[in-house]
Amino acid sequence: MKLIFHGHSCIEIQLDDGTNILLDPFITGNPVSDLIADEVETDVILVTHGHDDHIGNMIPVGKRNNAKVVSIVEIAEFAAEQGLSSHGMNLGGKYDFPFGRVTFVPALHSSCYKFENQKLYMGEPAGIIFQAEGKTIYHAGDTALFSDMKLLGELYEIDVAFLPIGDNFTMGPETAVIAADYLKAKIVVPIHYNTFDLIKQDAEAFVQKLKNNSGKILAVGEMIEL
Ligand code: NI
Ligand code: MN
């Protein structure tokens, strides 16, 4: 599979069979995105939580592509109300889709979505474990450091962990280093930084603090092939 970073928290997973999965599709309003909202193609959209910078272009991209939204139940129900095909899940649950296994795991954060001048409750924020082709990917979503990340490191042999390092809204670099320690992922990719001034961070300094040379900075548009 190929994992492509599209800026902020948006990750594209291209499976060997051609299936395309977009995680946290924040394109419009994302100053660092390299995607064109009206052209991006995807089969599945995974969403960690309800904030704008994660739900992003879920509705229009999902509709145009006839993509399936897989998310926390409240987000999945909202997607269905918008005419999308969706599958709702919740923390601790896993489901085997034709394209791979998805597990929703906790994240310490908040989750609501501003829609037509209302704030909609979007359930619990989450991280996502995605497993396919014998590989395990962890996208932490937006989260604080929490000690149960140790448990995730024991339960899963994580090949790639995407961890927020922007601080202010999520872990900063210092706590993300501890998270990486707990998770024991082979590759750690920093996300959710340098999109806006408020979350400006030195990713190079972050990866240098990680053990076993596990840090890997992805430039926008850059990929990891597993
Ligand atoms: Ni958020
Ligand atoms: Mn965010």
Q: Which ligand is nearest to the CA of 167?
A: 2
Angle at which helices 73-81 and 58-65 cross, to 10°:
60
Distance between Cα 211 and ligand 1 center (Å): 27
Ligand with the closest atom to the CA of 8: 2
E runs forming strands in the chain: 2-5, 11-14, 20-23, 44-47, 68-72, 85-89, 94-97, 100-106, 112-115, 118-121, 126-132, 135-139, 160-164, 187-191, 223-225
pLDDT digits (tens, 9 = 90+) for 102-138: 999 999 999 999 999 999 999 999 999 999 999 999 9
Measured in angstroms, how far is the CA atom of residue 17 from the centroid of ligand 1? 31
Ordered by where they begin, the domains of the chain are 2-218 (3.60.15.10)
Decide: helix, strand or coil at residue 10. coil
Please tell me the pTM assigned to this model.
0.98
Q: How far is the CA of 17 from the centre of ligand 2 (A)?
A: 30
Q: For 129-178, how does the pLDDT look when each residue is reduced to its tens digit (9 = 90+)?
A: 999 999 999 999 999 999 999 999 999 999 999 999 999 999 999 999 99
Ion ligand 1, residues whose Cβ is below 5 A away: 51, 142
Convert the pLDDT of each residue in 50-61 to its tens digit. Answer: 999 999 999 999
